[in-house]
A and B are shown apart, each in its own frame.
Chain A
């Protein structure tokens, strides 16, 4: 039971770390902000960068693997768009840490209010 749990836990951590690595790169963050506005073909995305199309397509691939980008096929063209659900997960990842401090500070505040005259 315990080993099973550890395994699934590590797996979740693994995915999360990949997502963090994915957004750690400035080019990939720029790609995300481009497709956040509208879905785009790989060619249209690449036009915004000086890097080679090959480099950009590698970045797109990493973002897709982390499920930050999803794609739809429109005829012969592939359009990439942002997966907002996944972006939300990244936010949520820090949330327990923030919550821990928020709880502590709420407690501090309510204790100290008793000292107020």
Chain B
């Protein structure tokens, strides 16, 4: 069975909902969010801090192969209930986007399957659109860079 990630972004709203069903028991799905070592593996970023508790905070940082920091994000954890939910903020550093509020809900479907529902609330409708556009823009960017490389080789 294909377990696809779904994005619900209703018109005129400033939130979006990401849902995904996993071929994993609830406890393992939650562990992937709880254990800094595992988080860093699937998020592809360094976990500098991850305090899994009410009023805790977290910080991620990603560097390129030359050691330059290319991505830095942090936030605070408002609520942390194992195997149930995480409420936290997310903010990218050195960039003028407002922080976003995230509600993560973990659900048991069967003994071996589980579901994650992630609601993200943005400051405005425009902010949501910008975030949705980012990977699209990055995709264009990458395509363009590849094209430039090919063109350079042809010269």
**Those of B106-155 within 8 Å (CB) of chain A:** 116, 129, 131-141, 144, 148
- Docked Cα-Cα span, A102 to B19, in Å, equals 10
* Cross-chain contact B23 with A109 (CB below 8 angstroms): yes
How many Å from the CB of B60 to the closest CB on chain A?
13
A109 contacts across to B, CB distance below 8 A = 3, 22-24
Q: For B136, give its contact among A96, A108, A115 (CB under 8 Å).
A: A96
Contacts of B140 in A (CB 8 A): 9, 12
Distance, CA A115 to CA B25, complexed state (A): 11
Number of interface residues of A (CB under 8 A): 30
Residue contact A112 to B7, C-beta cutoff 8 Å: no
> Number of residues in B with C-beta < 8 Å to the partner?
38
Residue contact A112 to B135, C-beta cutoff 8 Å: no
Q: Is the CB of A96 within 8 A of B139?
A: yes
- With beta carbons under 8 angstroms apart, the residue of A5, A105, A111 that contacts B20 is A105
Q: Are A116 and B7 in contact (CB under 8 A)?
A: no
Contacting residue for B43 out of A16, A94, A104, CB 8 A? A104
A86 contact set on B, CB distance < 8 A? none
Q: Given A96-B139, A115-B28: A101 and B42 within 8 A (CB)? A: no
A residues in contact with B134, CB < 8 Å: 97
Q: Which residues of A contact B116 (CB under 8 A)?
A: 105
Complex Cα distance A23/B140, Å? Answer: 24
Give the Cβ gap from B89 to chain A, nearest Cβ, in Å. 19
The interface residues of chain A lying within 8 Å CB-to-CB of B29 are 108, 112
Contact (Cβ within 8 A) A98 B5: yes
- Which residues of chain B have C-beta atoms less than 8 A from A104's C-beta? 42-43
Closest Cβ–Cβ distance, residue A58 to chain B (whole Å): 19
Q: Which 8 A/B pairs are nearest by Cβ-Cβ distance? A: A96-B135, A102-B5, A108-B42, A107-B42, A112-B28, A96-B136, A100-B135, A98-B7
A-to-B contact residues, CB < 8 Å = 1, 5, 9, 12-13, 16-17, 20, 23-24, 29, 93-94, 96-102, 104-105, 107-109, 111-113, 115-116
